[in-house]
Amino acid sequence: MKASPHSENRRVVVIGAGPSGAIAAALLKRQGHDVLIIERQRFPRFSIGESLLSHCLDFIEEAGMLEAVQAAGFQTKHGAAFGCGERYTDFDFRDKFTEGHGSTYQVQRADFDQLLADQAALQGVEIRYEEEITAADFGGPRPSLQVRRLDGSDYALEAEFVLDASGYGRVLPRLLDLEAPSSFPLRRAVFTHITDNINDPHFDRDKILITTHPEWRDVWFWTIPFSNGRCSLGVVASAERYEGRSLDLDSCLKAFVMEAPNLKRILKHAEWDTPARLINGYSANVKALHGPGFALLGNAAEFLDPVFSSGVTIAMRSASMAAAVLHRQLSGESVDWDSEFSTPLKRGVETFRAYVESWYDGSFQDVIYYERAQPEIRRMICSILAGYAWDNRNPYVAEPRRRLRVLAELCATPTPA
């Protein structure tokens, strides 16, 4: 793509006004930089990923948005609960190994994302909605983008640096041929929002509930309650688990729920008032997290799996890290995006990856349900579930696979008679 001599020139362009884009833009604006966000959709818009981890609030606070989030009336979240048949266990994020926020929120993303974007705008970030990046050229002296407006007209945009926070849209990975296959098997998620009418005394609205199918340990459900009496409900399974089931998504999801005794009981009065949706093959990866003139944030770079709600945390962490490195670069300092951004970001992602893999092979499920677990080990595991996957002082972060393997073997060992 050849840049037009009449291109608009901006210092930083952020693609996408979701959580990572809004936070990165606000952080750079607070450092005095000119920032423009290009967002393809009109907000508010639906998005999945409603259960925030505690670590998210560290970045919301850093971006000057915490007070607004606290005042918005979102559902408080203190931790995560797990159920399978009649088995139950939970983790309280306020009792964890790593320092940092304990309580967090469960949010309807349309409202939450709009709030963060509005907060970025209030800090002086310009956001252009319903505009789409259609081409990108990073071969010249400055990155050059082609932008299409809602009316079909186009204009050229140049910048010193571009941050791709486009999430599942994965704009630069597509345009620059950066897509790479994910190491995770293909899975599908069928989900909806319902009026839950939950009156079960054993259900804790201050926690996400993750339920494992009583027959198949690789099939699980999320139940995420909101403050307005509704909840997000979904099932995740491999393609083979959907074989022979109804092609109607509502019927399919309801049938799965009826197979989980705890969900059947908890949701017996639910009103299924919103058509179910499908996400197929959501895991993604890229060849590189950065290149000359650009860096990839959050889901635009890699998405693992929704089981531990790590997506928004990784997105916000990447936004904070990229903004810090970019600020130094724009200030004239010499930076190394590999050692200061990619490598440290991947460490936490790899920690989450180890726990996701261990979840699906069943060994981490043995760990969380283990009834004789040492309190300090549970606090270390709790820190990771709360999002603090970059704290190398935690042995289960520093050596996740080895520690998990040893712990899983211990938890799977039958108790002596």
10-residue stretch averages of pLDDT, the chain, 417 residues long: 67 97 98 98 93 98 98 98 94 97 97 98 98 96 96 96 94 92 86 97 96 96 97 96 96 97 96 95 84 92 84 96 98 98 95 94 94 94 97 96 93 63
Residue 51: per-residue pLDDT: 96
Residue 414: per-residue pLDDT: 60
370-414 pLDDT, tens digit each: 989 899 999 999 999 999 999 999 999 999 999 999 999 988 866
d(CA 298, CA 128): 20
What's the sign of the alpha-carbon dihedral 333, 338, 342, 346? Answer: negative
For the chain, the domains span 8-181+283-348, 187-280
Residue 247: per-residue pLDDT: 95
Residue 112: per-residue pLDDT: 98
User: Taking CA 65 as the corner, what is the angle to CA 64 and CA 68, rounded to the nearest 5 degrees?
Assistant: 135
d(CA 100, CA 309): 18
| The CATH number of domain 187-280 is 3.40.50.720 | no
Q: In terms of Cα–Cα distance, which of 297, 302, 306 is closest to 279?
A: 306
Residue 133: per-residue pLDDT: 98
287-327 pLDDT, tens digit each: 999 999 999 998 877 778 888 999 999 999 999 999 999 99
Neighbouring CB atoms inside 10 A of 416's CB total: 4
Residue 280: per-residue pLDDT: 85
d(CA 188, CA 310): 17
Q: In terms of Cα–Cα distance, which of 270, 276, 337, 329 is closest to 301?
A: 337
Q: Which residues of 116-130 are buried (b: 16+ CB within 10 A; e: fewer)?
A: bbbbbbebebebeee
Neighbouring CB atoms inside 10 A of 67's CB total: 11
CA distances from 168 to 18, 36, 180, 315 (A): 11, 20, 14, 12
Over the Cα atoms of the chain, what is R_g?
Answer: 22
Cβ atoms of residues 356 and 220 within 8 Å: no
Residues 6 or more apart whose CB falls under 8 angstroms from that of 67 comprise none
What dotted CATH number matches 8-181+283-348?
Answer: 3.50.50.60
Residue 89: per-residue pLDDT: 96
Cβ atoms of residues 405 and 360 within 8 Å: no
Cβ atoms of residues 196 and 209 within 8 Å: no
Residue 266 backbone phi and psi in degrees, to 5: -65, -40
- Mode of pairing for the β-strands spanning 207-212 and 132-137: unpaired
d(CA 294, CA 285): 16
